[in-house]
Amino acid sequence: MTAVVSAINDAEVRLPDDPGASMTHASEAVSTLMRVCSDAQSSACSGDDGRRGEQIGAAVAELQQLATEMLLGQMSQWTARMSDCAAALHALRGASTLDELSDRLCADAARGCGFSRVVLSRVDHDHWAPWKAYLEGADVHSSWFAEWTGRAIPIEPDTPERRSVTASRPTMVVDTSRDRVFRPIIVESGRSRGYVVSPVNVGGSTAGLLHADHSSDGATITSDDRDVLWAFSVGVGYVLERVQLVDQVRRHHDSLKELLDDAAVRIDELCDSGIRLTSTVSDRADADGEPVTSPAEFDRLTLRERDVVRLMISGASNTEIADRLIIAPGTVKSHVKQILRKLGMCNRSQVIAAAAAADW
């Protein structure tokens, strides 16, 4: 860069009076200088100032070299950023539930895509509601974000959120003071100067929005920010579809297992009823009208039902019994019903009392 400045000075090239107006980024600055130098070279060559034309030509050559180096550097940075984005998405694939995915998503998006702050919001018709967030160096639960969690924000016409949901594409806001944004959360609470918002699409519809920026005093939002967040959002949509499918399969699996366990209990009951035809405890009662149960009555139960009774006596709940026996809670309920029916009793307390009286 020093060589470029020296070459321009030697050639006495006149720069724009307000270069900042046309040079907001380094690449734009180089393009502007190349254009100015090329114009100056043309003027010098059309006259008799050959020496000055050579000097300007040297400046143009230096600028071209600088532009090439900058382009290679930008390509390298972009490749690294997209690689980090892909790694973050790969890590999210390990999430097995929606809760796990939503808890990790914002932090992984920030670290993988190069942002300081990321907010995940749910979309419901014409509203978006902030749900999860990652705020670099801040505690989300005690930050400005906490008061906005779950609050419905209208998706108003001509806002970045409306454009993203309607077009199903990301939207970049370079300057929040010039764009129509929802100022209460974006500017007044979040103090964002510029941000990117990208839809999270599932099954052809927008299920959520991802907002990201470089904090209130960070770097200016660029098209690279927009593109990397869009790539991440598309990937998240596929991961979310996978998690929903896995959850659906898990629910079907649990329902089928409970159904089969219940069928197994009934098959055991049918087998027992065909072999043991002794009377039930409900046919006999003591002088006070309370059921009388002998140890032999408990012997009528299947092995699994006896296991359930022993755990009932110990005070275990249906859930605890299910955990101990590695069966579904619904299966425990089926076992309890069968036990009560076989023993002619109405509730668990009677079973526990009868077991104690029978010294079982």
The verdict on residue 270 lying in a domain is no
Query: What is the span of the domain harbouring residue 316?
Result: 295-358
One domain for residues 23 and 101: no
The number of domains in the chain is 3
| pLDDT for position 265 | 74
Between 28 and 325, the higher pLDDT residue: 325
Residue 130: give its domain's CATH number. Answer: 3.30.450.40
Does pLDDT of 90 surpass 80?
yes
Eight-state DSSP code of residue 291: B
Does pLDDT of 71 surpass 50?
yes
One domain for residues 20 and 64: yes
One domain for residues 62 and 124: no
The verdict on residue 341 lying in a domain is yes
| pLDDT for position 78 | 78
Phi, psi values for residue 155, rounded to 5°: -90, 90
Neighbours of 106 (CB within 10 A): 23
How large is the average pLDDT for residues 41-53? 62
Strand order in the sheet with 195-202: 153-154, 127-135, 117-124, 205-213, 195-202, 171-173
Cα-based distances in Å from 47 to 36, 42, 69: 17, 9, 33
The verdict on residue 261 lying in a domain is no
One domain for residues 109 and 74: no
Does pLDDT of 29 surpass 80?
no
Distance of alpha carbon 228 from alpha carbon 79, whole angstroms: 10
One domain for residues 60 and 138: no
Token pair in block for residue 52: 């000055």
Residue 111, amino acid? R
Does pLDDT of 10 surpass 60?
no
The verdict on residue 214 lying in a domain is yes
Of the candidate ranges 169-183, 194-208, 249-263, 331-345, the one whose mean pLDDT is the lowest: 249-263
- For 135-172, give one letter per residue: b (16+ CB within 10 A) or e: beeeebeeeebeebeeeebebeeebbbbbbbeeeebbb
How large is the average pLDDT for residues 123-140? 94
One domain for residues 113 and 159: yes
Query: Among residues 85, 110, 138, which one ends one of the domains?
Result: 85
Q: Which H or E run includes 309?
A: helix 303-313
| pLDDT for position 58 | 77
| pLDDT for position 68 | 76
Q: What rounded mean pLDDT belongs to the chain?
A: 82
Residue 349: give its domain's CATH number. Answer: 1.10.10.10
Phi, psi values for residue 225, rounded to 5°: -60, -45
One domain for residues 221 and 106: yes
The verdict on residue 266 lying in a domain is no
One domain for residues 124 and 225: yes
| pLDDT for position 201 | 95
The verdict on residue 271 lying in a domain is no
One domain for residues 107 and 228: yes
Residue 256 confidence class, pLDDT cut points 50, 70, 90:
confident
| pLDDT for position 272 | 58
The verdict on residue 110 lying in a domain is yes
Residue 16, amino acid? P
Q: Which H or E run includes 212?
A: strand 205-213
The verdict on residue 337 lying in a domain is yes
One domain for residues 228 and 340: no
How large is the average pLDDT for residues 275-296? 51
Closest listed residue to residue 327, CA positions, set 282, 273, 263: 263
One domain for residues 81 and 116: no
Distance of alpha carbon 269 from alpha carbon 342, whole angstroms: 9
Please name every residue paired with 136 in a beta bridge, in sequence order, or none if there are none: none
Query: Among residues 232, 247, 262, which one ends one of the domains?
Result: 247
What pTM did the predictor assign?
0.58
One domain for residues 134 and 243: yes
Distance of alpha carbon 79 from alpha carbon 73, whole angstroms: 10
Q: Give the number of C-alpha atoms closer than 13 A to the C-alpha of residue 202, restricted to the C-beta side.
A: 16
